[in-house]
Structure 1
Amino acid sequence: MKKISLVTGANGHLGNNLVRELLKRGETVRASVRDLNDKEPFIGLDCEIVYADLRDKDSLHKALDGVNTLYQVAAVFKHWAQDPEKEIIIPNVEATQNIMEAAKEANVRKIVYVSSVAALSLDKTNLKGKIDETTWLENSHGNAYFDSKARAERTAWELAEKYDLDMVSVLPGAMIGGEFLKKTPTILAFDSILLGKMKVNYISEMTPIDVTDVVKGMITAAEKGVRGTRYILANEEPVTSDDIIKIAKKFIPSLEIPQKYTKEQLLNLADKLESEAKEKNTQPSLLRSQVELYYGGINRHYDLTTSRQDLNFNPKLGEVALEEYFKRVFASLRKKSL
């Protein structure tokens, strides 16, 4: 019987790069999307494209028919909304419940559930002074995306235990690069720095990682991951905002360095921008939760011991991944200007 791998959210940044790598390895891939008219991500790819909406269980039953391995990638990825509970948290939690129940009914052999380092504790370190996979987010400082990832992953584990499902979860860092590049909030944030659009330096540390390393970690997790285990797929050490700007200036020496402000000044600015965004129904350029999270309130030093031992996970350094990405963006800008 032919083994089929289902990748949900297959037209997204992570999902599409995962589809490409699975196909390179000769696997039979079923790619699910909510919009079958979004064909560009699949040009030249020999995979089955099916409709699936994680809030439509009938569509999930059809997508999972005959599936051996489920890569649950699809999720709402945004940090702000007019109604965060309705637009971010509830959809991610309900989607998780639906896909896990459908996977049980379809007798899926293995589930690789994509969570995020956002679901880990922000400050509880182990004896190495690092955050490991045993910790959980306790205070999101009002960031709905962080809340949604933690609540959704907890739901996944509860249902995996209830239904006796063979599941592992993977927790990626800030993904960039890859063959297919769809602009996520993470990528747009790095782009804004390179393009000189970030006028306020509120980021203390980030954990850029090449999406290719995350994809390889996911595939190995499907093959060798220990049932019931969480795997951090991020870099051990973060890159500071000053480092990010330094790398960007290699390509654009005239880049203006964003100004630094006090936390109180940034909170006041964020409150103003969020209030205006609600009135105009636009996306604010700075969030109060971002200031709380990034302004000295989050530890981004991760312990990869479990991922290294079980998955042989050894990603390229964040500085290297970021420089490669900035080089790509800069080359694209130069090409457009010619």
Structure 2
Amino acid sequence: MKTLVTGATGFIGSSIVRELLKDGVEVRVLVRENSDTRNIDGLDVEVAYGDIRDGESVKAALKGCDIFYQTAALIAFWVSNRKMFYDINVEGTKTALNAALEQGVEKVVYTSGAMTIGFHGADTLANEEGEFNLWDTGDHYFRSKYLGEIEAQKICQRGLPLVIVNPSGVIGVPDIKPTPSGKIVLDIVNKKMPGYIDGGVNLVDVEDVARGHILAAQKGRIGERYILGNANLSVKDFFGVIGEASGIQPPSLKLPYSVAIALAYLYQFVANITRKPPVITPPGVRMASKYGYYDVSKAVNELGLPQTPIKTTIEKAVNWFRENGYVKAA
């Protein structure tokens, strides 16, 4: 059995590749010519060059493949050209999945995100029936992933044997870029985070997410969504676990929403001048002030999704950042 993974140079995609190789699966990866391949360097994979926005390159890469993991996406808090989110996460998804439909693959797993299910409050554990309610945050990553999932569902209705997985806040190693979740860990360890605000998040280990993708291909029901998550933590408690794992005092200042949003606009103003990502963005503050808590029982019960303790995951991340030179000397 041969498998194609797009987004294989990324955080989740490369973890899927490593898990597949552990299982003895023959893996082909679709990468762009100018991709940073550090996440897959040295792995025993067949490389096909192309782009999910180019249907012909996807179809060529899918030849001889039974399973297709469409994980490729632009994941970021901020980019200077917001149109890129929609070009990749919506149009690219549509193009890649249409190519899979034409090629007649046996099973497709599409990586969406838990945010497409919405954030429904501190007292609610949202499940796969939840509806997107984050358009007004202004976060173009969230918007584009929501629109991309809609396109995926439409193609599934046309006959694509598709399972959708919705990872929550993913943390783990290696985190070269680093990811948005990893950047929060790193900013606290490097004492760049000015404070915290009321809000909550669901967190999960990247290796559990990778295994969840493979289990979705094996056991997932066509047309279904599966939330790949684990622990529900308030922002304050999340920061506290990072502090315990790192030995660094986490920010103790609770920022009023009005102060946090003002700081975010200031950071964004500077970023627009320097072209360097800000510590936090206005959409990021709006998102962080909400509670994205999830019920992950469907994936645990139907797929057997692993549940690594989140403190263990954060400890691994902190140690990896330190060992690889991401943490500034005290």
> What's the TM-score once normalised by structure 1's chain length?
0.88
Q: Hey, what does 1:198 align to over in structure 2?
A: 193
Q: 2:155 aligns with which of 159, 166, 171?
A: 159
State the one-letter code of the partner of 2:68.
L
Structure 2 CA distance, aligned partners of 1:180 and 1:5?
24
Superposed displacement of residue 203, structure 1: 6.5
Kindly provide the amino acid, as one letter, of the partner of residue 241 in structure 1.
Answer: V
Aligned 8 A contact 2:125 2:295 in 1? yes
Alignment of 1:266-305 (within 5 A): 266-295=260-289, 298-305=290-297
Q: What is the CA-CA distance between 1:258 and the residue it aligns to?
A: 4.9
Larger mean Cα displacement after TM superposition, 7-16 or 87-96: 87-96
Among all aligned residue pairs of Structure 1 and Structure 2, give the percentage whose two residues are the same amino acid.
Answer: 30
- Secondary structure in 2 aligned to 1:217? helix
> Shift of residue 131 of structure 1?
0.2
Identify the residue that residue 211 of structure 1 maps to in structure 2: 206
1:118–1:335 Cα change, 3 Å: closer
Task: Give 2:316's match in structure 1, choosing from 296, 313, 324.
Answer: 324
Q: Quick one: distance in 1 between partners of 2:150 and 2:71?
A: 16
The question of whether the paired residues in 2 share the 8 Å contact of 1:36 and 1:50 is answered with: no
1:220 and 2:212 equivalent?
no
CA distance in 2 between counterparts of 1:279 and 1:37 reads: 26
Query: 1:72 aligns to what?
Result: 70
State the secondary structure of the residue aligned to 1:40: coil
CA distance in 1 between partners of 2:156 and 2:148 (Å): 12
Amino acid at match of 2:103: A
State the secondary structure of the residue aligned to 1:243: helix
1:99-110 equivalences in 2 (<5 Å): 99-110=96-107
- Assess if the C-alpha contact under 8 Å between 1:177 and 1:211 holds in 2: yes
Partners of 1:251 and 1:224 lie apart in 2 by 35
CA shift in 2, pair 1:256/1:111, >3 Å? closer
Distance 1:333 1:40 in 2: 16
1:177 positional shift: 1.7
What is the deviation of 1:289?
A: 1.2
Q: Partner of 1:248 in structure 2?
A: 242
How far does residue 181 in structure 1 lie from its aligned partner after superposition? 4.8
Q: Which residue of 2 aligns with 1:130?
A: 125
- The separation in 2 between residues aligned to 1:101 and 1:150, in whole angstroms, is 18
Structure 2 letter corresponding to 1:14: I
Q: Deviations over 1:31-72 (max 9, x none)?
A: 111136745333332210111201112211211112110000
Q: What RMSD over aligned residues (CA atoms) do the two structures have, in Å?
A: 2.5
2:302 corresponds to which of 301, 310, 317: 310
Post-superposition shift, 1:305? Answer: 2.4
Provide the secondary structure at the position in 1 that maps to 2:39. Answer: helix
Q: Is the 8 A contact 1:239 1:319 kept in 2?
A: no
Give the SS at the match of 2:227: strand
Partners in 2 of 1:134 and 1:42 — Cα distance?
35
Distance 1:278 1:74 in 2: 26
Contact 2:201–2:234, Cα closer than 8 Å, also in 1: yes
Report matched runs for 1:19-34 at 5 Å: 19-34=17-32
Q: Is contact 2:190-2:327 (8 Å) kept?
A: no
Letter in structure 2 aligned against 1:302: Y
Assess, with a 3 A threshold, how the Cα gap between structure 1 residues 89 and 105 changes in structure 2: closer, same or farther: same
Q: Given that residues 211 and 306 in structure 2 are in contact (C-alpha distance below 8 angstroms), is that contact kept between their aligned partners in structure 1?
A: no
Question: Which runs of 5 or more residues in structure 2 are unaligned?
Answer: none
Classify 1:53/1:135 alpha carbon distance in 2 versus 1 (closer, same or farther; 3 Å): same
Would the aligned equivalents of 1:238 and 1:318 in 2 still touch at CA under 8 Å?
no
Q: CA deviation at 1:334?
A: 11
Q: Normalising by structure 2, what TM-score?
A: 0.90
* Partner secondary structure for residue 35 of structure 1: coil
1:16 alignment partner AA? S
- Asked if the contact 1:198–1:258 (Cα under 8 Å) also holds between the matched residues in 2, the reply is no
Report if aligned partners of 2:121, 2:292 keep a CA contact under 8 Å in 1. no
> Do the aligned residues in 1 keep the contact of 2:196 with 2:253 (CA within 8 Å)?
yes
Supply the distance in 1 between the matched residues of 2:23 and 2:74 (Cα, whole angstroms): 28
Residue range with higher mean Cα deviation, 11-20 or 286-295: 286-295
Question: Which residue of 1 is the match for residue 134 of structure 2?
Answer: 139
How far, CA to CA, are the matches of 1:37 and 1:115 in structure 2? 21
Which 10-residue stretch deviates more, 281-290 or 102-111?
Answer: 281-290
